[in-house]
Amino acid sequence: MQLTFYKYQGTGNDFVMIDNRQNNFDKNDTKRIAFLCDRRFGIGADGLILLENHKTANFKMVYFNADGNESSMCGNGGRCITAFAKHLGIIKDSAIFEAIDGMHEATIDNDIVWLKMQDVSSIEHHKSHVFLDTGSPHHVQLEDELNDLDIKAEGHKIRYGSPYNTSGTNVNFVCKNSNDNFSVRTYERGVEDETLSCGTGVTAVALAMHYIGETEKNMIALQTQGGKLQVSFEKAEKGYKNIWLIGAANQVFKGEI
């Protein structure tokens, strides 16, 4: 049976998007999911996202990494599925949907999506890095510059090293451009390579930079390899609240396979 799919991208973080409201897609077929995400033999993507029915919300988001395994929250994927839901006529300009980390709110204006992330109450400040979970686990490390860094090699070393080991983490390398502007390059767990952008990653970077005093601003611009994202937030009694990931999400093409 032919599969209708859509390709979406948010600042270069790209996804195979499937309308699974009829539950026709086998979520246990990890080999097929990995094949569809393969850039040489399949469609090619950083991950695959299923849009499914939900009893009370507008829809449910099910996200798989390019290795075929269901994964933790994907921020750019959350922005892209909001744009996809609007394309399908499920929503107009706002949405409430469930992802693996809980319920999310989103608004969309033309191609700009505002996605509300979960509150973050725990941040670990270590000597060489910051660790926090913004729906997915993130190691955040400040660098003087990013151009000469071997992101795949260095990210792989940290992702599989102590204290993360087999469970792993996403790894973000950060360079400060100004008080409210940072450049970010991310090695993504599950993709096992650098991606052009990572939504939960830039969210982690914005909060980490505020937490360690690298910025006093509560609206941060993040420059990724795939474009610009913004993160806004409020300081809470413990951690951060009202966290929003902001950026464009676009349909690239529709096809059948």
Q: Which helix or strand (DSSP H or E) is residue 56 part of?
A: none
The total of other beta-carbon atoms located within 10 Å of residue 31's CB is 8
Q: Looking at the structure, do residues 104 and 193 belong to the same domain, yes or no?
A: no
Q: Does 130 reside within a domain?
A: yes
Q: Looking at the structure, do residues 38 and 60 belong to the same domain, yes or no?
A: yes
User: How big is the chain by its Cα radius of gyration, in Å?
Assistant: 17
Q: Looking at the structure, do residues 154 and 222 belong to the same domain, yes or no?
A: yes
In single-letter form, the type of residue at position 132 comes to L
Q: Does 118 reside within a domain?
A: no
Q: Looking at the structure, do residues 87 and 177 belong to the same domain, yes or no?
A: no
Q: Which helix or strand (DSSP H or E) is residue 8 part of?
A: strand 4-10
Q: Does 52 reside within a domain?
A: yes
Identify the CA nearest to 87 among candidates 95, 25, 24, 22: 95
Q: Looking at the structure, do residues 52 and 129 belong to the same domain, yes or no?
A: no
Catalytic, out of 37, 74, 80, 175: 74
Q: Does 9 reside within a domain?
A: yes
Identify the CA nearest to 250 among candidates 197, 210, 203, 204: 197
CATH number, domain with residue 179: 3.10.310.10
- At 145 the pLDDT is 96
- At 166 the pLDDT is 83
> What domain count does the chain have?
2
Containing domain of residue 133, as a range? 123-246
The total of other beta-carbon atoms located within 10 Å of residue 73's CB is 22
- At 50 the pLDDT is 99
- Whether 198 is a known active-site residue: answer yes
Write out 58-77 in H/E/C secondary structure: CEEEEEEECCCCECCCCHHH
Catalytic, out of 37, 80, 175, 198: 198
Q: Looking at the structure, do residues 203 and 143 belong to the same domain, yes or no?
A: yes
Q: Looking at the structure, do residues 44 and 138 belong to the same domain, yes or no?
A: no
Q: Looking at the structure, do residues 149 and 52 belong to the same domain, yes or no?
A: no
Task: Give the Cα separation of 186 and 155 in Å (integer).
Answer: 8
Q: Looking at the structure, do residues 88 and 152 belong to the same domain, yes or no?
A: no
- Whether 80 is a known active-site residue: answer no
Task: Give the Cα separation of 248 and 213 in Å (integer).
Answer: 28
Is 16:37 a contact under the CB 8 Å cutoff? Answer: yes
What is this structure's pTM? Answer: 0.96
Range 170-209 burial, b when 16+ CB lie within 10 A, else e: bbbbbbeeeebebbbbbbbbbbbebbbbbbbbbbbbbbbb
Q: Does 102 reside within a domain?
A: yes
Q: Does 117 reside within a domain?
A: no
- pLDDT tens for the chain, 257 residues long, are 789 999 999 999 999 999 999 999 999 999 999 999 999 999 999 999 999 999 999 999 999 999 999 999 999 999 999 999 999 999 999 999 999 999 999 999 999 999 999 999 999 999 999 999 999 999 999 999 999 999 999 999 999 999 998 889 999 999 999 999 999 999 999 999 999 999 999 999 999 999 999 999 999 999 999 999 999 999 999 999 999 999 999 999 999 99
